[in-house]
Structure 1
């Protein structure tokens, strides 16, 4: 099954990677409010980055598997398994590298964070890909709805909105893993085990939107339908937030619907201007990040760890602060500068059509 590549997918994916690098690499202790995650309930701009990536991953998973007609074969299963394990191992290797750089032993695996962004990406990709091979689109949609419903009920019944160790997410994480394998800066791990369940549903929504985008209709009609889906998700999410407030750290059901709605609307808007109207000026920068997303995300993480461990980050931040009277601005300038350095790698790869697949 041949599918036409949509430039908008690479652009939006690139935007999310650019934002990921920026929000992960503040130079100082103070950042602009929207460059930090919400303290608990609520959504900041920073809280949109990861869910947008999972949504786009769902869309591209549909497009990728559609090329083989969603046929479960030994080749496709090996590819899914290999990619899932590889992404997970890379995530763990980054945590190990950070531990070593900050003074822990080379063989100290007792403080290796097993949860994290790449772990969640790997699990969502692997589970949704297998669902796509063995379930109908309708069954996937029903399953996603069921997952969000059950998870929402669990949050309400078992302290899911308490920002302490009594939270069901924290309880499950500490029951299944020792504390050394978890994020411990706050009571609730933002990429914990239980929260991966709604994240899988989140990715399924992206997958279903990918199915809508690939229908045999004019692109304008498909984008109009995507806008309608986005509106329905947003309305449903805001209504649900009256019972289950939007919360990134526990990946609440309302957070899933609202961020998926925003992601669908943004994708439809970008696609209209780039794929329909052909307005592509200035988009090559984001596209360059979008064609090598995970490689550049990892590059940004590794660069940030090295700069922090060698105290170069502090030196650079202090220098920027010397001519910027606002600490938040100095922190933002540092983060944007690191992202632009990654861009010096992204653009040559893009121009030479070198795609590093993970």
Structure 2
């Protein structure tokens, strides 16, 4: 194990903020873990999303990743270089991310149903939005905002990206098919963002197709603009680093500023909850503040631990995930779908593994968690082979 840790740390480039790679690795590892339980019927509460209003640790994971996307946009330029002009490089990355998301949307076939129509189910009813699609859209939007705006402009943009969609949900009227008018509704299936998703994307192309009165997508169109505010807060955290010095005193001050900013956002967001509900699907302003606050606190803690104190060994394995985050997400997505596609008797390969191996050994909830942990461990072996061969899958 010691040799394994040494091999990981030897490949870290000098001068690189290891804390950011670790934070990205933590986000993607947590995302894979909560997305691959042995059974969705047996999931511990902290590993499930809040039913509607409110938040759990799982609700922080996707915003944490977007926060790191914004942070990385600044760090990739270093302290001295300006932001590059937005060109084919940025658009290529966004288009490839969007295309990978669409690939996962259509990568499924029900081999247990002889009447299954893949074209009708997956192609004609493709889900246009998703995690990777949202990352792509947020990334390219923030590339332009970072290029065009000054620091005060970015602060204003971060506020407006969150505030304008929320005000639209509160004050713009909308109608259902029967002509009934609604305004200011924030219920599951009945809010302005859901109406907009149905109108722009189509009821057959969203995640919650059976929601009433409006099918909608948790990664919908309007809330993607709100999600950009999370990425911009990551950009602002990066700009704090960019304008700080590299000496130890400045490092400690930077760590303190991140921690204070994170604690303030978390506190304000939580206090707003009675007036502005914390809601991931709506990506409400309070949700932005709470999740960005947690992200900044995690960044501060990791920065202090691994970049200032250089206590790196215990967390080093997260680097293997952090440098190949999209590769891990795709691997987990493809394998996860294969496990529910391949039939074993009257169930699927995943169902067979859970009911015959994990559930008898660990119980229902413990077995479901053990399945997720085992999956992540297997994915780690693949990511480690890529890491040690310096194979970085960049999109």
1:126-159 residue CA offsets vs partner (Å, 9 max, x unmatched) = 1001111122122111011122222222233333
Question: What is the distance in 1 between the residues matched to 2:185 and 2:109?
Answer: 30
Q: Which residue of the other structure, out of 210, 214, 220, is the alignment partner of 1:192? A: 220
**Alignment gaps of 5+ in structure 1:** none
The yes-or-no answer on 1:19 pairing with 2:30 is yes
Question: What is the distance in 1 between the residues matched to 2:123 and 2:138?
Answer: 25
Contact 2:203 2:209 survives alignment (8 Å) = no
Question: What is the distance in 2 between the residues matched to 1:352 and 1:277?
Answer: 28
1:236-275 residue CA offsets vs partner (Å, 9 max, x unmatched) = 2123222111111111110000100010001100110000
Contact 1:26 1:335 survives alignment (8 Å) = yes
**Alignment gaps of 5+ in structure 2:** 1-13, 172-182, 343-347
Counterpart of 1:255?
287
Could you say if the C-alpha distance between residues 265 and 186 of structure 1 is closer, same or farther in structure 2, counting changes exceeding 3 Å?
A: farther
Question: What is the distance in 2 between the residues matched to 1:12 and 1:101?
Answer: 38
Please state how far the C-alpha of 1:185 moved relative to its aligned partner: 5.5
Question: What is the distance in 1 between the residues matched to 2:16 and 2:29?
Answer: 21
Alignment of 1:89-128 (within 5 A): 89-98=99-108, 103-106=116-119, 109-128=123-142
Could you say if the C-alpha distance between residues 278 and 167 of structure 1 is closer, same or farther in structure 2, counting changes exceeding 3 Å?
A: same
The yes-or-no answer on 1:84 pairing with 2:94 is yes
Q: What TM-score comes out, normalization by structure 1 length?
A: 0.93
SS in 2 for 1:347: helix
Counterpart of 1:323?
361
Could you say if the C-alpha distance between residues 204 and 186 of structure 1 is closer, same or farther in structure 2, counting changes exceeding 3 Å?
A: farther
Please state how far the C-alpha of 1:284 moved relative to its aligned partner: 2.2
Counterpart of 1:219?
251
Q: What TM-score comes out, normalization by structure 2 length?
A: 0.85
Contact 1:51 1:259 survives alignment (8 Å) = yes
Question: What is the distance in 2 between the residues matched to 1:153 and 1:119?
Answer: 24
Question: What is the distance in 2 between the residues matched to 1:280 and 1:260?
Answer: 24
Counterpart of 1:168?
192
Could you say if the C-alpha distance between residues 346 and 247 of structure 1 is closer, same or farther in structure 2, counting changes exceeding 3 Å?
A: same
Counterpart of 1:159?
184
The yes-or-no answer on 1:266 pairing with 2:298 is yes
Larger deviation, residues 225-234 vs 85-94: 225-234
SS in 2 for 1:37: coil
1:316-335 residue CA offsets vs partner (Å, 9 max, x unmatched) = 1012111223x111111111
Question: What is the distance in 2 between the residues matched to 1:183 and 1:144?
Answer: 27
> In the comparison of the two structures, how many residue pairs are matched?
351
Contact 2:109 2:341 survives alignment (8 Å) = no
Alignment of 1:339-350 (within 5 A): 339-350=376-387
Bigger CA radius of gyration = 2
